Amino acid sequence: MVQIPIVFSRVNAALPMISGESVFVPLGSHWPTSDAVVKQHPDAFTSDPRYGLMFTGEAPTYMTVSPDQPLEDTTARPGEKRFTRRD
């Protein structure tokens, strides 16, 4: 089996490319590290495979980095307002 170095998306967003187009990157999707969108937006990706991980019920204990520091939640819950600053 061929081993390809991959990363997982930390975002659910359309990321702008140098070419002028945008690439939609779903949260948790996996991408080869050699892909142009990964190279142009390295902060949008992580080697942590928990991003986008699906499960039923309560979050498993491995979904937290440590008991005091939960994994970043990038999705607003119903009725929750998220405020972002765009430069």
For residue range 7-54, list pLDDT tens digits in order: 999 999 999 999 999 999 999 999 999 999 999 999 999 998 888 888
> Which carries the bigger pLDDT value, residue 65 or residue 67?
65
Tell me how many domains the chain contains: 1
pTM: 0.66
Give the C-alpha separation, 8 to 47, whole Å: 6
Give the C-alpha separation, 49 to 16, whole Å: 24
Q: What angle do CA 51, 56, 57 make, to 5 degrees?
A: 110
Residue 70: inside a domain: no
Q: Are 39 and 51 in contact (CB under 8 A)?
A: no
pLDDT at 31: 97
Which domain range does residue 17 map to?
A: 6-54
Residue 38: inside a domain: yes
